Amino acid sequence: MNMRTGEIRPTGEMRTIERKSIELNSEEFKVIQAQIANLTQQLSLAQTVSVKEKNRSDELANLASRLQADFDNHRKRTQEAAKKMREDGRVEVVEKVIPIADTLRQASLMVKDEKVAEGLKMVLKQFMSTLETMGVTEIQSLGQPFDPNIHNAIMDVKVKDPKDVNIIVEVLTKGYRMGDKVIRYSDVKVGR
């Protein structure tokens, strides 16, 4: 210690300890710097891997979304195809059984025995009721304007009243539809 100034000056031994401490801290500092550089490099690598994995995750999520949409579209197409097949099957069956109604109707008109005729009419009524439960309805034609979408003109008939031109004057064979689909066109005579 300097008596005049009151300053404490390090002795030679203290200076050596300080210098070693600084050198030691310098070595520790270099080690720490190397560790920091290593960690920075690892972080950079991890960030690169993270970006690649995020991109891959996004691609997989996108693929999953497209697959889900494709599956939903396939399911809808399959359901629609199955529905159409059921409807087509019902239409095909109805097309084949409608002539039975014609036969029952004609038979009930031709039979002389009233009880047999009544029995045939009851069977016809039950048959038509069954068709109605399947959505089959008769096309009302008599007295209606001719419509080529639901009628088949077999003959033209001269009419006196001009209001009856293009009006159906007689139904030869009844027509039927199931919903909006015509199962069988009505065969008709049209006024001319």
189 SS3 class = strand
- What kind of fold does domain 137-192 have according to CATH? Nucleotide Exchange Factor Grpe; Chain A, domain 2 (2.30.22)
- pLDDT tens column, 69-121: 999 999 999 999 999 999 889 899 999 999 999 998 889 888 888 899 899 99
Integer Cα distance of 144 and 134 in angstroms: 25
Cα torsion for 157, 160, 164, 170, to the nearest 10°?
-40
> Could you tell me if 178 and 90 are in contact, meaning their C-beta atoms sit under 8 angstroms apart?
yes
pLDDT of residue 25: 73
Where does the pLDDT of residue 14 fall: very low under 50, low under 70, confident under 90, or very high at 90 and above? low
Please check the confidence at residue 21 and state whether its pLDDT lies above 70: no
Segment 118-175, tens digit of pLDDT: 999 999 999 999 999 989 999 999 999 999 999 999 999 988 888 888 899 999 999 9
Residue pair 128/103 in contact by the 8 Å Cβ criterion: no
pLDDT of 130 reads 93
Judged by phi (left if over 0) then psi (alpha if -120 to 50, else beta), residue 159 lies in: beta
Residue type, 4: R
The residue extents of the domains of the chain are: 137-192
Dump pLDDT digits (tens) for 171-192: 999 999 998 889 999 999 999 8
Better-scored residue on pLDDT, 9 or 169: 169
